[in-house]
Every structure is written in C-alpha cells, then in structure tokens.
Amino acid sequence: MSRYTLGIDTSNYATSLAVFDTAGEVVCAKKRFLPVKEGQLGLRQSDALFHHTTALPEMLEELSREFDLTRIAAVGVSQKPRPVEGSYMPCFLAGVSAATAFARARGIPLVHTTHQQGHAAAALFAAKGEELFCQKVLLFHISGGTTDLLLCDGVRQITTLGTSSDLYAGQAVDRVGVKLGFPFPAGAEVSRLAALCEEPIRPKSSVKGMTCSLSGLENQCNALLQTGKSPEYVCKYCLLCVADTVVRMTKAAQKEYPGLPVVCAGGVMSSDIIRVWVQQRLPQVYFVPGRYSSDNAIGVSILAAREAGLWLK
C-alpha cells in the first residue's frame, strides 16, 4: 500500500518541495530559484530567508493542485547544510517553520535532516533505487557551497574523505559565468556555452590525494580571457578542470576503498561536459539526471519516508 511523504528544502539557491510515494516513485516536485540581482554572486541570508518565506505558501498551493496534501503521512525538512556540529544557515529556518506547522496541524511525524543528506538520498535513489541505501557508497557532492568526497553509509552516516582547501567548484563556475554576464547561479549557462566549443582542451587540476584546490581555476580562466580565448573555450576549460578534479580524487579514494560504487550529486554535476569527461575515464561512475542532482526536496521526501518507517524499514 502506498504512503506519501512531503519534503521541504530551502537552500541558498532554491525553494523546493516534493512528494514521494513509498511504492518507489517521486509523485511531483516543485522548485523555484531565489532571485539574484544582475552581477551579484548570491544573496544575503536575510534576503534568502525572506524569499523562501514568501515562496513557500505559494508553492504549497501549487502542489495542492496536483496532489491531495491530506494524504501526506510524514514530513521531512532540511534544517541545516550538513550533518555536522556547527553547520548552520538561516535560510533553512523558513523550511523548518513551514514543515513544523504542516506536521503539527496534521498530527503526523516530522523528520529533520540536512541539505547534504537530501542530495545524497536523491542521487542514490536516482542511480539504483533502494539498492544503494543498503551499502557503503562514495559520493561526490559538488555545488556552490561544497566540493566534498563523502563516504555514505545508508545516508544516515556520512564521513567527509576529501574536499577543497579553498574555493568550491560551484563558486568557480559561477564566478566565471557572472564575469561573462550570466545571471547567478550561472552553471547552466556556462555548460551551454561550453558545449559550443569544439577545440581540444587539456585541463590543469590541483589535487593531492583526496584534497583539491580550486582558487587557481578562477585565475586561470581570467587569464585565458585576457589572452583572447573565447568565452566558449573558457567555459569548457573551467568545467573540464572540475571534471579532472573529480577523476583524480575518485582514483585516490578507490585505492583506500576499492569496489565501492561512486555516485555524483550536486548542481555542478548536472553538466554533460563533466559527465562525459569523467565517464570516459571512469565508466562505472553514476551520474544522475539534473532533477535529482541539483538542489531539490526529492531526497528530503525520501528520507522522511525512511526515517518515519514507511520505506526501507
């Protein structure tokens, strides 16, 4: 018998809602990107919190027109960025408030999780359904706020194996895109422009073991633009540097954790340029569709079902 859960995620990029059917299907999902003024590289947390608070009632109303919300059996919400002590961003308070009100009014379980765990759950589900929730997995979470190589044990326990020592991959991509005149977040436009470049490129990545450095990538891209390289070339170069970073960090992790599945999640990993480069060198790495890879509430709704004992008990 199907049971349904609602997931709510209010990240620094988007407001998102999703409904999960415990029979193993995402029933519907809604996402609205936060508005960012032209030329800016993000929002102040007070502004993000305001936009989430404004968007949530409207999006819940939209969702109710597609699905009967009285059938929801549990609610999940991301309450902070990562499942570690001290992790905090005010933007998640909007989602927690909405989820708490919904759950208390309906008298149903409320499950608190994190943005990172939501990304992980969505990616594992998209890669192989319930199978990867029952084993250890190497997971890349690469976005505007993370460049993390994680060891996931059923999503409940996540250990960081490697990360960036400075700039995050999504920050580097967004800065290149904004410099070229694209609105923030700029990943989709950078990928679109990169696909137009047919020149062969040799990326230069900085990786030591499972730790990378990406601050030099921004400088390299600026230097290429100054020497007259086309925006298409620079965008492709930027994305291939990220892809080469993923390959080198993965190979280092596989030496210590041989045989584990590798899954890529996070908004940056929705790039076809990155996916093709990585899979040519590591064919067994799972890349999931953008719907499950970029910021979304799908994984949060899945975790709500699991933690409430409705799915994969």
Q: In 194-250, which ranges are E strands?
A: 206-208, 211-213
Query: What are residue 78's DSSP bridge partners?
Result: 113
Amino acid at residue number 279 = Q
Structure tokens at 112: 């608190």
Of the pLDDT bands very low, low, confident and very high (cuts 50, 70, 90), residue 5 is: very high
307 vs 143: which has the higher pLDDT: 307
From first CA to last CA, the distance across the chain in angstroms is 14
Which percentage of the chain shows pLDDT scores above 70?
100
Q: Which residue has the tokens 């989602």?
A: 95
More confident residue, 100 or 141: 100
Residue 21 has pLDDT above 80, yes or no: yes
SS3 label, residue 109: coil
pLDDT of 313 reads 65
Average pLDDT over residues 50-77: 97
The structure tokens listed for 306 are 């699991």
- State the average pLDDT over residues 23-51: 91
The residue written with tokens 């708490």 in the block is 100
Which pLDDT band, with edges at 50, 70 and 90, does 115 fall under? very high
Q: Give the largest CA-CA distance in the chain.
A: 62
Per the rule left: phi > 0, alpha: psi between -120 and 50, beta: everything else, 157 is beta
Mean pLDDT of the chain: 94
Rounded distance, CA 310 to CA 130, Å?
Answer: 13
pLDDT 10s digits, 200-251: 999 999 999 999 999 999 999 999 999 999 999 999 999 999 999 999 999 9
Within 163-256, strands assigned E span 206-208, 211-213
Which pLDDT belongs to residue 23? 94
Kindly indicate the confidence band of residue 312, based on its pLDDT and cuts at 50, 70 and 90.
confident
Helices (runs of H) and strands (runs of E) counted in the chain? 10, 12
How confident is residue 112, by pLDDT bands cut at 50, 70 and 90? very high
pLDDT score recorded for residue 185: 86
Q: State which H helix or E strand residue 17 sits in.
A: strand 14-21
Q: How confident is the model at residue 265 (pLDDT cuts 50, 70, 90)?
A: confident
Q: Residues 97, 52: contact at Cβ < 8 Å?
A: no
The alpha carbon of residue 157 and the mean position of all alpha carbons in its chain are separated, in whole angstroms, by: 18
Instruction: Give the pLDDT band of residue 37 (cuts 50, 70, 90).
Output: confident
**What pLDDT is stored for residue 75 in this prediction?**
98
pLDDT of 91 reads 96
Instruction: Say if residue 183's pLDDT is above 80.
Output: yes
